[in-house]
Amino acid sequence: MEKKWITRIRMLIIAVAILVTFVSIIIFTRAIGREVNNQTKQTLRDVGNQNALTVEREITERQNFLQGMAKELQEHAGVSVEEMLNIFEPYVEKYHFKRMGYIHKDGIAYTTDGYCRDLSYRDFYIRGMKGESVITDVMQDALGEPENINVLSVPVYRKSTQKIAGVLFATYRTSSFEELLNVECFEGDGYSMIIKQNGSIVADSSKSIFYGKDNYFNALIARNGSKNNKNEIKAMKAAMKKDKSGTADFSYKSEQYLYYTPIDNKMEEQWYMITIVPAKTFQSRVSPLLHNIWVLLAIIIVVLLLVTIIFSYSYGKDKKTLIRLAYMDPLTEGDNYAYFIEKMYARNETGKLEFIVALDFNEFKVINSTCGIAKGDETLQAIWRVIDNSLNRYELAAHINADHYILYLLAGSKKEVTYRIEKLTRDFMSLPESLQIPDLLPYYGIYQIEENDGVEKGYNKANQAKHFVKGSRTDNFAFFEDVDYAQEVENKRLADGFEEAIANHRFEVWYQPKYSTDGTKAVGAEALVRWREKDGSLIPPFKFIPLFEKNGMIARLDEYVFEEVCRQQKEWLDTNRTVLPVSINISRASLYYSSIVEKYVKIVKEHSVPIEYIQLEITESAMIENSEVKELLDRFHAAGFQLLLDDFGNGYSSLATLNTLHFDVLKVDKSLIDYIGNEDGEKLLKCIVELAKSLGLRTTAEGVESIEQVRFLQNLQCNDIQGYYFSKPLPLADYEELISK
């Protein structure tokens, strides 16, 4: 009897313990759920803003190009359709268009892929003829193979009458927008779409449950017309009218959470980026922790109930199998993302800096498509072995999916992490030879973990940093904190102010004199550009030249500077002032316009300037990237221009350049001039000057700053000297005073 009573007490204690544990787990789980919910919504805002910025850059780049091309057509109203399409052709591939075309006032469209059709019924043509710039909703291609497209269009005006002459348009595959929206977030469960204020869907992630729908709001009401959904839609519409961002939750198949923010596309209709994550994502975040809690509870129950050794053995064996299935990546047989997260929560304090690294590879799909899926899997396994062998004690890594990996690294400094990333890159790039696959180019985003940072937050920020270098030719990794988001905003301000600056002559031409080697007289000058802001301050060229080279505006700036120099030379000639030859830089972007020679000749003739007073400077790097530059240089020469090879010796120099391309002057880069005082460097300079003389080229030394450099160049009989030793770049008034003496 007493034994039964003790047994009952024990069973009661066990039951109470289990109940208390169970209730505690529920309370604890709900608290975790609320915290994860808050963190996820914040991450949702970060991802949504980043997606909006990415799409803004994509659209703005193409809009600026079309606006610039429309102005180009306005300047050359007499260009034939064939010539116009030839101008468009190089940009179709560059900007990933399906085609470009021009619709005449009569509605007949001519396209780069050979179509000539009546598109007068198209809404973008009708609105374009009313002066509107348009990006259409998703529509079926009426010309080529049936597929979803978006069309970007701008009106083209006649310069003489300022009336609309036609509509310039570019067809953009909706799938390209979808690729932008298919950026992985929230472990692949999140997705994005672009809508208008009325809810019509412009572009949609292929993962979206709304994929194929026409209107986001209508789809919500049709599927589940709950009062909550209607209230959320009403609140969203009110916020969108005021161009505001916000979050919302709604019911569609399962509970969903979304963040919406406006996209600045400079068109008539405002777009919004919608980033959505299903409620199940929150559950997956807490599931690893809950799994551990329930496993602990199971162990307590097993101990309390004194299960048999056989059952304990069987349970232990089953548990190992479950862990293997739950935590092992089936392809690499290493850790998967869930196990990575669990290990991160249990990591030890080491006293070192902690870094999350997001890693994937450029165009990895090429390996699958050209070598087969099996070879792609073999490559992913080889990549994992390289990663696993690179890890130190307490460090972690996991294969997430496809060619995406995550690493947790420990280091004493960012420099040490950089060294390890470079070592990994070298190891990865050695794999193609042994595997017989195309080249592997890895890209990394790196985030330094701060106190209380979650794994998901760290991985998302590392991913954001990675996308800033994805596709870059110069960098393949970036630290999140080093990405200059403020510079992105500044670049947008400069790009937006370009047209106003051109119209109001805020770009000033400055002149840096070139002197004879003995320093007795100025023999010419190089035209440089500065941007004068409304408040009178100057924007230095290093802040806007690289930006305009990237977005295509540099070609218009080149032409502006060229015309300003011609106008000023003519003014000095008419007033009987001293006139010296002035060289103008031509950017690599300008060299892609086949009509540039005729355009520049026309400008010289319009200003009645003797062509010997106008010289052109071209960098060797521009020639390396343009296989057709030789033909352009020959045409410039035939027109009478003197050509200067700029920055010779700045990393690209090739003797083949001097042998095959016809230049008149070789400008030796400052990096070589700085070698003066070094025996080997002086020998190199001597060889370059003698080589130039043997080829009949004059030489100009750039960046000369000391009397020792001047004397050495005098002994070499270098023709001209340019640099701060004689004169820094001068504004117009100071240069006029200089040459008048």
For 547-566, how does the pLDDT look when each residue is reduced to its tens digit (9 = 90+)? 888 778 899 999 999 999 99
- The predicted pLDDT at position 297 comes to 58
- The predicted pLDDT at position 503 comes to 92
- The predicted pLDDT at position 2 comes to 47
Contact between 630 and 658 under an 8 Å Cβ cutoff? The reply is: no
Q: Are strands 614-619 and 642-648 parallel, antiparallel or unpaired?
A: parallel
Mean pLDDT computed over 317-344: 84
User: CA triplet 548, 551, 554: central angle to 5 degrees?
Assistant: 35
More confident residue, 566 or 256: 566
In this predicted model, what pLDDT tens digit does every residue of 115-163 receive, in sequence order?
Answer: 999 998 998 899 989 988 888 877 888 887 888 888 889 999 987 788 8
Residues 596, 579: Cα–Cα separation, whole Å: 25
Residues 79, 596: Cα–Cα separation, whole Å: 14
Burial class, 726, CB count within 10 angstroms (exposed 0-12 / middle 13-18 / buried 19+):
middle
Asked if pLDDT for residue 423 goes beyond 90, the answer is: yes
In this predicted model, what pLDDT tens digit does every residue of 679-702 receive, in sequence order?
Answer: 888 898 999 999 889 888 999 999
Residues 140, 134: Cα–Cα separation, whole Å: 16
Backbone dihedral angles phi then psi of residue 203, each to the nearest 5 degrees: -155, 150
Asked if pLDDT for residue 404 goes beyond 90, the answer is: yes
- The predicted pLDDT at position 305 comes to 61
Residues 447, 451: Cα–Cα separation, whole Å: 13
Residue 211, both tokens? 């994929």
Taking alpha carbons only, the member of 628, 566, 644, 573 closest to residue 599 is: 566
Residues 193, 201: Cα–Cα separation, whole Å: 7
Least confident of 301-305, 390-394, 683-687: 301-305
Residues 91, 82: Cα–Cα separation, whole Å: 15
- Composition of the chain by helix, strand, coil, percent to 5: 50, 20, 30
Report the amino acid identity of residue 439: D
- The predicted pLDDT at position 303 comes to 64
Mean pLDDT computed over 399-413: 94
- Residue 233: band (very low, low, confident or very high) from pLDDT cuts 50, 70, 90: confident
Least confident of 3-12, 110-119, 127-136, 346-355: 3-12
In this predicted model, what pLDDT tens digit does every residue of 168-198 receive, in sequence order?
Answer: 999 988 877 777 777 666 666 677 888 887 8
- The predicted pLDDT at position 263 comes to 75
Of the chain, the percentage scoring pLDDT greater than 90 comes to 36
Largest CA distance in the chain: 128
Contact between 103 and 128 under an 8 Å Cβ cutoff? The reply is: yes
Asked if pLDDT for residue 472 goes beyond 90, the answer is: no
- The predicted pLDDT at position 430 comes to 92
The pTM of the full predicted model, rounded to 2 decimals, is 0.43
Helix (H, G, I), strand (E, B) or coil at 325: helix
pLDDT mean across residues, the chain: 83
Query: Which residue's entry shows tokens 């920020």?
Result: 461
Residues 365, 363: Cα–Cα separation, whole Å: 5
Residue 576, both tokens? 């009987």
- The predicted pLDDT at position 3 comes to 47
Q: How many CA atoms lie within 13 A of 296 on its CB side?
A: 10
- The predicted pLDDT at position 210 comes to 73
Residue 715, both tokens? 């002994």
Asked if pLDDT for residue 677 goes beyond 90, the answer is: no
- Residue 62: band (very low, low, confident or very high) from pLDDT cuts 50, 70, 90: confident
